[in-house]
Structure 1
Amino acid sequence: MPLAHGLPAALVILAAMTLPGLALDATAKGELAPTGTLRVGLIQAPSAGLIFVGRSSDGKPDGVTADLSADLAKKMGLPLAVTMFSNSGAAAAALQAETIDVSFMPVDAARKQVLDFGPGYYDLESTYLVTGASGIVDVAQVDRSDLRVVAIDGTTTIRASARTLTQTQPVAVPSVAEAIERMRTGGADAFALSRDTLQPIVAQVPGSRIVTGGFQQTQVAIAVPKGRPAALASVTAWLAEAKRSGLVRGIFDAHGFSGDAVAP
């Protein structure tokens, strides 16, 4: 068993934080990037948010988590390879299968059973975008038997929506783009997603609005496969320092999220 596996997590984190530039020892590097390349999973959407990324004019991932991933790879002294997913459920499945090494996603009880999470960087609220024709203005009004709700497959949001709705249930769609299309063309009345991600979507669905109130509060955090304690310690130390130094705040601001707080 590698030495780091036998150390208390706090000692591994302390050791990682005292290394120049958070450089990794052989054990941590082997756990964090077993192929020699840091394989990061990012989640794509038509509009970038604090979880989702878009693509820049040259086709590269563009958004908060893209910048965080680039900094993580740089600080760890590793080459970076990014895989794009249409939803966080697919990214979580890839982490569990260990075809990627790191991702950023909302935390819930189901994911904690199969993945390990480091610190959160954003406190998320899930709510609904509704059509103008629905007449709905408050989150409680979404729970109607005649209302067609869509949410992204495999996400914390669809699980929370299903738990809190009693008169209707969300229909799973594979991507944000598909949900927007259904809202636009009359195939859905409400779309469950995080408030920050819904804000730029309002303009894409004429007449739509985001309701007041929410049905889930959770953190968006960095995630790694289970059974890699040295990797978890390393990403925990990195993100803690990125928040302390103001790096995360600067990334939020650079992408237009100056009004959103970094998680403590």
Structure 2
Amino acid sequence: MTGLGLARLARTVLVAVVASGLAGATARADVEAQILAPSGTLRVGVYSGSPTSMVTDAAGKPHGLSYDLGAELGKRLGVPVDYVRYQRVADIVSAIHDGQLDFTVTNATPARANDVSFSEPVLAIELGFLVPANSPIAEVDDIDRAGVKIGVTKGSTSERTLPAKFKNATIVPAESVKIAVAMFVRGEIDLYATNKPTLFEMSDQMPGARILEGNWGLEQMAIAIPKGRESALPLLNRFVQDIKSSGALETIEQQAGLRGAVNARRN
């Protein structure tokens, strides 16, 4: 065979290899999309008022961990994204468990792991307390007293955890973060307990409000998907590592105004 013929053969083989690789990649993407978004659309659960889920900037554009990571994953899978709004994260976890949603980002607690499957942690955030202006509560040691009313989001980690920590104060569930702000105004709660990114968002709406020093724990935020889709977890874990290493996660945090984050531990 002449040199020209060899060159042509090499080009033909190269084109075939590239085409085969592209076909394989496309096939893998199709399989991954079918696992994670079997309806053909990635259904992302969000709730308003927390940068870990969804907030809106001054121009009215939405941002947040669940919102933006859902958009990025949908783009990589080649499927559209449908945002489904709920009042609180507990409702989102229930909807994922029931197969009504495909994706959210939330605190990966052992209790929730009974209902959904989690990726490795995306980031960790501090848990804290918010008090209104002129509150007599100056530090955590002032909380556990008779008559002190601690607001928590109904169905949250705070609602499950704090009764064992505070024996004398009263735990008061709120239907949503928005309602909790109004409860402060009406004097129905003396402080609020949840993750610090949410507390900072609340404090922006409450002149003079402050977040107490320290924290009472950490939330390990991870991607939650329905049970039965564990074969997609390697993909999700690679996705998490990629958005961390590429700087995309830092950009999402900045756009959402997320404050109170620390380094996540590895599973």
With the shorter chain as reference, the TM-score category is: 0.7 to 0.9
SS of match in other structure, 1:101: coil
Partner Cα distance (1:54, 1:257) in 2 = 10
8 Å contact 2:120–2:222 — kept in the other structure? yes
- Residue 24 (str. 1) matches residue 24 (str. 2): no
In the TM superposition, residue 92 of structure 1 has moved relative to its aligned partner by: 0.5
Partner Cα distance (1:210, 1:159) in 2 = 21
Q: Which residue of 1 aligns with 2:39?
A: 35
Q: Which residue of 2 aligns with 1:174?
A: 175
How far does the alpha carbon of each residue in 1:160-207 deviate from its partner, in whole angstroms, 9 at most, with x for none?
A: 222321112321111100001111222210111111221232242233
8 Å contact 1:128–1:193 — kept in the other structure? yes
In the TM superposition, residue 148 of structure 1 has moved relative to its aligned partner by: 1.0
8 Å contact 2:97–2:226 — kept in the other structure? yes
Given residue 34 of structure 1, which amino acid in structure 2 is its aligned partner?
P
8 Å contact 1:151–1:170 — kept in the other structure? yes
SS of match in other structure, 2:34: helix
Unpaired segments ≥5 residues, structure 2: 1-23
Partner Cα distance (1:141, 1:201) in 2 = 21
Partner Cα distance (1:200, 1:33) in 2 = 31
Unpaired segments ≥5 residues, structure 1: 1-18
- Bigger radius of gyration: 2
Aligned residues: 242
Given residue 143 of structure 1, which amino acid in structure 2 is its aligned partner?
D
Change (3 A) 1:135 1:21: farther
Partner Cα distance (1:70, 1:179) in 2 = 29
SS of match in other structure, 1:30: helix
Q: Which residue of 2 aligns with 1:242?
A: 243
8 Å contact 1:41–1:102 — kept in the other structure? yes
Q: Which residue of 2 aligns with 1:131?
A: 132
8 Å contact 1:21–1:75 — kept in the other structure? no
In the TM superposition, residue 107 of structure 1 has moved relative to its aligned partner by: 1.7
Partner Cα distance (1:91, 1:152) in 2 = 13
Given residue 44 of structure 1, which amino acid in structure 2 is its aligned partner?
S
How far does the alpha carbon of each residue in 1:134-175 deviate from its partner, in whole angstroms, 9 at most, with x for none?
A: 411222321112101111111122222223211123211111
Partner Cα distance (1:81, 1:21) in 2 = 23
Q: Which residue of 2 aligns with 1:254?
A: 255
Change (3 A) 1:68 1:175: same
Q: Superposed, which structure 2 residues align to 1:113-128 within 5 Å? A: 113-128=114-129
Moved more, 103-112 or 236-245: 236-245
Given residue 140 of structure 1, which amino acid in structure 2 is its aligned partner?
D
Q: Which residue of 1 aligns with 2:14?
A: none
SS of match in other structure, 1:98: coil
Q: Which residue of 2 aligns with 1:65?
A: 66
Give TM-score, length-normalised by structure 1: 0.82
SS of match in other structure, 1:90: helix
Moved more, 142-151 or 62-71: 62-71
Partner Cα distance (1:21, 1:60) in 2 = 32
Q: Which residue of 2 aligns with 1:106?
A: 107
How far does the alpha carbon of each residue in 1:66-97 deviate from its partner, in whole angstroms, 9 at most, with x for none?
A: 22111110011111111112111011111111
8 Å contact 2:45–2:66 — kept in the other structure? no
In the TM superposition, residue 131 of structure 1 has moved relative to its aligned partner by: 2.7
How far does the alpha carbon of each residue in 1:81-121 deviate from its partner, in whole angstroms, 9 at most, with x for none?
A: 11112111011111111100111111212101111110222
SS of match in other structure, 1:135: coil
In the TM superposition, residue 232 of structure 1 has moved relative to its aligned partner by: 2.5
Change (3 A) 1:162 1:31: farther
How far does the alpha carbon of each residue in 1:3-56 deviate from its partner, in whole angstroms, 9 at most, with x for none?
A: xxxxxxxxxxxxxxxx85995242x332211111111111211xx42x131246
Calculate the aligned-residue CA RMSD, in Å.
Answer: 2.4
